[in-house]
Each structure stands twice: as C-alpha cells, then as structure tokens.
C-alpha cells in the first residue's frame, strides 16, 4: 500500500514537471522572422546606386 502511494506521488511529481515545462515553453503565435539573401542585398544596393533615375 505504502509503495503504491509513493509511486502515485512520483507520477504526480513527474506530471507536474512536464506541465510546468510545457507552460514555460508555450509561445504565443507570432509572425515568422524575416529572411533575406545577404549577397542580393548588396547587389540591390549597388544597382540602385548605378541607376539613372532621370
């Protein structure tokens, strides 16, 4: 009986651990991070400089 009681408590503790862990890991939905191509960034900058806007 005592063993059963003890293992129930162990199970409860483990469940509590996972619950707290999951609560901490929850992240609100959010937009994705902006991705960019660093080489193309430089290419655009140099092409804009070279453009004849007249």
Partner 1 sequence: MRRLPDNRLKLTAIRLAACCLALVGLAGCGEPPQTVFKLNSVELLKQEKLFLSGGQSFDDRYSTEIGTILTAFFGTPDQPRVPKVLPEEDPAAEVLSQEKLDAAAGPVLSTLGDNGYHGKGLYREHCAHCHGITGDGAGRTARSLNPYPRDFRLGKFKFKSTPLRSMPTDDDMMQLLVKGVPGSSMPSFRGLLKSDLEALVDYVKYLTMRGQYERYLMAELSNLEEGEPLINLTASGVQDEDDPAKEKYLDSMFDLVGEGLVEDVVERWIDTDDNRSEVPDAPAAMLLDHPDHQALVDQGRVLYYTGGNCAQCHGESVAGNGQTETFDDWTNEWIKSPGVDPFAPATYADFTAAGALPPRPILPRNLSSGEFRGGGQPEDIYLRIANGIEGTPMPAAATLESDQIWALVAYVKALPFIDVDQRLRHKSVNDNAIAK
b/e sequence 2-41, b meaning 16+ C-beta within 10 Å: eeeeeeeeeeeeeeeeeeeeeeeeeeeeeeeeeeeeeeee
- Report the nearest approach of partner 1 to the CB of residue 51 (Å): 6
The yes or no reply on residue 1 touching partner 1 (CB under 8 A) is no
Any contact of residue 32 with partner 1 (CB under 8 A)? yes
Site residues, partner 1 (CB under 8 A): 2, 6, 9-10, 13-14, 16-17, 20-21, 23-25, 27-38, 40-45, 47-51, 53
């Amino acid at each position: 009986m005592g063993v059963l009681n003890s293992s129930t408590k162990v199970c409860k503790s483990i469940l509590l651990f996972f619950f707290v862990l999951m609560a901490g890991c929850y992240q609100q939905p959010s937009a994705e991070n902006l991705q960019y191509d660093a080489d193309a960034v430089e290419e655009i900058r140099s092409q804009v400089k070279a453009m004849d806007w007249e």
